Chains A and B, each alone.
Chain A
Amino acid sequence: MRFLEDILIVFRRDLKEYYRWKLHLVFDVLFPLLDVILFTLVWGSILGGGFQGYGMMTKENYIGFLLSGMVLWTFVRHCIGGEFTHIFVEEKHRRTIQYLLASPINRISIPYGKSIMPILRATFNSVVLILVGLTLGFVFGGNIFLIILIISLTFLTFSGVGLTLAALGAWREDFADMGWLISYSLEISAGIYFPIDILPANIKNILMSFPQTQAVQAMRMLVIQNASLVQLLPFLLPLIFSSAIMIIIALFAFKFVERKAILVGI
């Protein structure tokens, strides 16, 4: 019970910090909006036709092709490229971590509580993206529950990566900073802005074995081709497996840093 209450306490604090700084909201509307304008209207007009016939992308579904990847990616970006990997580093810099650790707060509730705000922000970003897509006339296909399932599995996998980096970041800050690098690398390798089918076959095959690429492919199959659960299973099963592995690794990382902290302090 205390664990759940503490999660809510941490989340409420983050929510207050969010709305006390009004620019947070402006950024959260503006960034996805600018992204989608740049990639759909500008690059779509220039390159859209050039990719004709690669993978699932056609000139007609270019907006949907991009948006389905971008919606999913907002969740990944909030897990590993944003504030999430810095949750402990930030508390260290503000010199508040020692007060938290000396208080009765349930320690594991801190990262759980702090993961709620990224989910909300990613959801908000996604809504902005979807609204733009609808305005531009794209009709989203696919079962809503399957969409939520793919987003959830992707979030679980990459929040595991994010939590691992966040926990290790409490020990060595470089790990937290690596989140940006990993996020950009994954973004490119997932083929968010281009069909990976344009790459040489061997590179494509390697990329297809990564969870980020499988998640994006599954999302596109669902949104563009209205795929069924059975058709998505080859993508979903590895995602389930990788999310379980990443959460276990994250818990080990957290325990490792907790042990390190009790030995030398953080």
Chain B
Amino acid sequence: MTNAIEIANISKTYREENPGFLNTLKYLFKPTYKKALEDVSFSVEQGEIFGLLGPNGAGKTTLIKIILGLISPTRGNIKMFNWDIPKEKSKVIDRINVVFSRAGCYWNLTGRDHLKFYGKIYRVKNLDEKIKELSELFDLSDKIDLTTDKYSTGEVMRLNLARALLNDPELIVLDEPTIGLDPVIALKVRDFFLKLNKEKGTTVLLTTHYMEEADRLCKRIAIIDDGKLVAIDTPANLKNKLKRENVCEFGVSNLTGEVLAKIKEKFERCTYYDDQSQLRVILDKLEDLSELVNFLKKNGVKVSSVHTEKPTLEDAFLYITGKGLRGEEDEIS
């Protein structure tokens, strides 16, 4: 079967943008370059839900824009349903659709106007019926005839999800689709995409900050860090890179960011905590445990409990990248 997406050795280097007029002149004569992606290769099978994970600034959005033909790679090739992108983009463009994390809207138009506009661009047949069906699906029936300036962030996102399904895409690219949605709707949206994938065989390329979402939805996940592909596997195999004894959770008090930074420096492994009372550490070997307990005590941290945990996808992500999904600063804030 033809792959939905084939990415071969994609690299992207940007000429850095120039803040201010004087810098424009400086950069004109001495430009600086930034590598956004480096030699990324993978493929997404038709009918697969494929996750793309990475910390902020890892290059996920750049990769998505390259896949969609919105920007060109510096090097490498992309094929979508066996057509070269961006050269033969017109052959596949009406078979795909996209939802970006920061959803956009025409604020003076109603939800219905909005869907009609895009429906006409995609030459959707039976557009009125389709709009009715999608507005019911995304709980927008009551608001569909109101201008979108009266919509909440979640409703705007749902309207965009409805827009993205107008053309019954064979491939849908979702960039943080559940961001800003309340948990009930987010769950509904996840279920919907699972159902869509199962019933219609729609291929989904998903980026998300929610690990449970990626774990639940994706058949395979690619992890990108600093523009490089660092892992690609099923969620189960990614989690299996860690053993249960690698993941320790401590009940603690008096834990500060300063101490956490010291732990990171000493053990050179990924550490994070959700609040001041819980510290989750990924250890290379179990022998490091007693050393860590002593270290905590020495730094004035009271340890009330220690137990090992079953590795989650987030643990695997931290283990592989050494970073939280929202970047380094989140771990020690």
* Segment among A29-37, A53-61, A192-200, A257-265 that sits at the interface with chain B: A257-265
Across-interface contacts of B120 in A (CB, < 8 A) = 9
Contact with B along A1-34 (1 / 0, CB 8 A): 0000010010011001100110000000000000
Across-interface contacts of B154 in A (CB, < 8 A) = none
* Segment among A63-71, A100-108, A243-251 that sits at the interface with chain B: A100-108
| Interface flag for B200 (CB, 8 Å) | no
Contact indicator A16/B90 (Cβ below 8 Å): no
Nearest A-chain residue to B95, judged by Cβ: A104
Contact indicator B108/A94 (Cβ below 8 Å): no
Q: How many angstroms between the C-alpha atoms of A1 and B215 in the bound complex?
A: 46
Contact indicator B118/A99 (Cβ below 8 Å): yes
In the complex, how many angstroms separate the beta carbon of A185 from the nearest chain B beta carbon?
A: 21
| Interface flag for A205 (CB, 8 Å) | no
Contact indicator B103/A95 (Cβ below 8 Å): yes
Contact indicator B71/A265 (Cβ below 8 Å): yes
Q: How many angstroms between the C-alpha atoms of A96 and B106 in the bound complex?
A: 8
Contact with A along B1-24 (1 / 0, CB 8 A): 000000000000011010000000
| Interface flag for A45 (CB, 8 Å) | no
Selected from A9, A21, A99, A105, the residue in CB contact (under 8 A) with B108 is A21
Selected from B100, B102, B105, B122, the residue in CB contact (under 8 A) with A103 is B122
Contact with A along B271-302 (1 / 0, CB 8 A): 00000000000000000000000000000000
Contact indicator B104/A95 (Cβ below 8 Å): yes
Contact with A along B94-136 (1 / 0, CB 8 A): 1011101011111111100100011011110000000000000
Contact indicator B104/A94 (Cβ below 8 Å): yes
| Interface flag for B197 (CB, 8 Å) | no
| Interface flag for B93 (CB, 8 Å) | yes
Contact indicator B65/A104 (Cβ below 8 Å): no
Q: How many angstroms between the C-alpha atoms of A219 and B86 in the bound complex?
A: 48
Contact indicator A103/B93 (Cβ below 8 Å): yes
Across-interface contacts of B163 in A (CB, < 8 A) = 99
Most-contacted residue by chain B among A12, A17, A99 (CB, 10 A): A99
Selected from A9, A12, A262, the residue in CB contact (under 8 A) with B72 is A262
Across-interface contacts of A104 in B (CB, < 8 A) = 90, 93-94, 121-123
Most-contacted residue by chain B among A6, A104, A261 (CB, 10 A): A104
Across-interface contacts of B153 in A (CB, < 8 A) = none
In the complex, how many angstroms separate the beta carbon of B104 from the nearest chain A beta carbon?
A: 3
Contact indicator A20/B108 (Cβ below 8 Å): yes
Most-contacted residue by chain A among B17, B97, B98, B108 (CB, 10 A): B108
Contact indicator A105/B121 (Cβ below 8 Å): yes
Most-contacted residue by chain A among B94, B103, B105, B120 (CB, 10 A): B120
Report if A262-B104 is in contact (Cβ < 8 Å); known contacts: A6-B121, A13-B109, A102-B98. Answer: no
In the complex, how many angstroms separate the beta carbon of A16 from the nearest chain B beta carbon?
A: 5
Contact indicator B113/A13 (Cβ below 8 Å): yes
Q: How many angstroms between the C-alpha atoms of A96 and B97 in the bound complex?
A: 13
Within 8 A of B (CB), among A85-113: 94-105
| Interface flag for B41 (CB, 8 Å) | no
Q: How many angstroms between the C-alpha atoms of A103 and B71 in the bound complex?
A: 14
Across-interface contacts of B70 in A (CB, < 8 A) = 98, 101-102, 261-262, 265
Nearest B-chain residue to A9, judged by Cβ: B120
Q: How many angstroms between the C-alpha atoms of A6 and B15 in the bound complex?
A: 34
Report if A264-B106 is in contact (Cβ < 8 Å); known contacts: A102-B70, A102-B98, A104-B90. Answer: no
Across-interface contacts of B65 in A (CB, < 8 A) = 265
Nearest A-chain residue to B16, judged by Cβ: A264
Selected from A94, A98, A105, A265, the residue in CB contact (under 8 A) with B106 is A94
18 other contacts beyond A95-B105, A99-B98, A102-B98, with CB at 8 A cut-off?
A13-B117, A17-B106, A20-B109, A94-B107, A95-B100, A98-B98, A98-B100, A99-B104, A99-B118, A99-B163, A100-B121, A102-B97, A104-B94, A104-B123, A261-B70, A263-B72, A265-B65, A265-B71
Between A and B, 14 residue pairs with Cβ closer than 8 Å are: A9-B121, A16-B109, A20-B113, A95-B103, A97-B104, A98-B70, A99-B100, A100-B121, A102-B70, A102-B96, A261-B71, A263-B71, A263-B72, A264-B17
List of 3 A-B pairs having minimum Cβ-Cβ separation, nearest first: A95-B104, A96-B104, A17-B108
